[in-house]
Structure 1
Amino acid sequence: MIIGTTAQIFDHLSHGMALAVVAVALLVLARVVFGFTTRLKPETELIESENSAYGIYLAAFLSGTAIALAGSLFERQSEALVPTLGAMLCEGVLLIVLLRLGCEINDRLVLTGFSLDTEISEDRNRGAAFCAGGSCLATGLILNGALTGYSDGLLYGLRDTSLLWAIGQVVLVTGAVAYRRLARFDIHQLIQFDDNAAAGLRFGSFLAGLGLVVRGALLKAPMTDLSTHGLNTLLLAVGGLLLFSLLYPVGRRMVLLTRSSSDEIDMHGNMSVSLVGSAVTLSIALLVAQAIALVQPPPPQAPDSTPPPATVPNE
């Protein structure tokens, strides 16, 4: 939308206000769904127990939901309001379902070896909460990228969003499992038995970084041809994963230039080092995501059949 007059500004603001109200309503719905789909009771954990681990988990889920919902606002400011609100509601319900499903998949396939509910509720394990939080943020970022794609109509858009989410989840789980297998430290030991919050934050930030990279691959993906565009998007996401994996050790070394940061985190639970390392991880992921997003081709456009204007020869 091109803003040029005061009337256009107010029209744009009113349009944006309606979109924001619907988005916040969907965020509230996600909060309610989260309470009903987990065995942990928010009132008990937040008020009676003052459980900071649960607070980290819930905060990350709501943040991941907001990130995903931001994707449903992509290029909606210039569309007709009533159809846009209906499409947002449909997309919002779908993304809430996919976000919860993605978190459950990550819990079973990535955060294996311990019960997340037990670690957060009974042990108040902030390391486990950071891992679960990184998983929620990663899934929200994947959905954000999936919702920015180009499809032919609402129904096809919902289908393509689900397909892109599935592609992103496969890449996310693959990268996370490879990380656990190749790491020289035992994440299960550090988190469950040592209650190492710094190690949990390191792994959670890696998951969030993977989500950023996958989002870059999914951003504005044209899905008019499923076989071609779906495969291209998958290859782009895998390429981004490999590039991120190659640069990740550089970031680990960047934290403490003269020595490895692993010992400080694994042996001493140094949260200061882990915070800096997490920031470096997310920074590298952001740069990789932006770099591979530039490779994505623009959506196909119909050829312009308008004849060129007649030219008048100079006298």
Structure 2
Amino acid sequence: MSHDFFPVLPSLVLRSTRGNYDIYIRSDDSFALYAKAGDSFTEHHERILLNSGRKNVYIRHDQRPEYFNHITSLLGETLLDEKIPRPARAQIFYETSLGIVEEIFTEELPPHIDRSQFDRVFEFVTKGVSFLTLENSLQTMGSIIAHDYQTYSHSLHVFVYSQLILQTYSFAERDMVQFGLGAILHDIGKRKIPETILGKPGKLTDRERLYINTHPIHGAGVCARLPLSQDALNCILFHHEKLDGSGYPCGLKDADIPLPVRAVTIADIYDAIRSSRPYSEGTDAFRTLRIMKEEMSTQIDMNVFRRFIEILSGHGII
């Protein structure tokens, strides 16, 4: 029976606002209903549980989607809520992030991907997300998620795809973690862009496009006080640079663009085309790769791109 439930911290069951899932408490191998879907779960309930020595409450696996959707929809404002202890907010961020990464592996990537690859990426996302639960970083992430949750979920997709690419090279672990942080934070400068522009359903004006094109510079500024390596900052600042010099903000060309940045760029473009946005419908993986090959061959590193294709086809993973 225990396999029908999964444990969560009481603090992860957000107070005052409840989703469409039941909460259970455990006694030995039996589970008792503690709060029905929609019932309020208050600080009083949490104190009772903690005073009784219960560290977890339980949710049925078949209600996991409702639980996950609920905590992600409120993630940004939760991370900024000073009434919730910082360790609890960090745990919410950590578990939500890992949930998104697991979802990418189960729904987006081919089933041929080796389990060791999954475990390795999970190891890096664990280290990266642990870093992002530090106090200053937590506030920063809360701000961007509250501003535009889609940017956050997109960034975790880019993290996974770029990590899979860069694992096929011989980088040190400490460098891989920094590349991963750069990928997770690559669009953080969009917190400086008005939502009316980010979510505009129609074509952007030239002025709006120029405004959006400032987000890498804003991102580097936002992260300047975080203990990031130059590699991580490069991924944030240069992920829209192109090999032919047509990118922004610096118009870098060829060898001036570091390899980790090239991987993040390919991952970023792929997920952007794949995903549905207010201004465009998403498309399938095959058509996305064809668009990238036919329309961007002078802009992206085709050797890195070929490695990405091998990963998505489930072959040639080192």
Q: TM-score, normalised by structure 1?
A: 0.36
- Higher helix proportion: 1
Bigger radius of gyration: 1
TM score, norm. by length of structure 2: 0.36
RCO higher in structure (CA 8 A, sep ≥6): 1
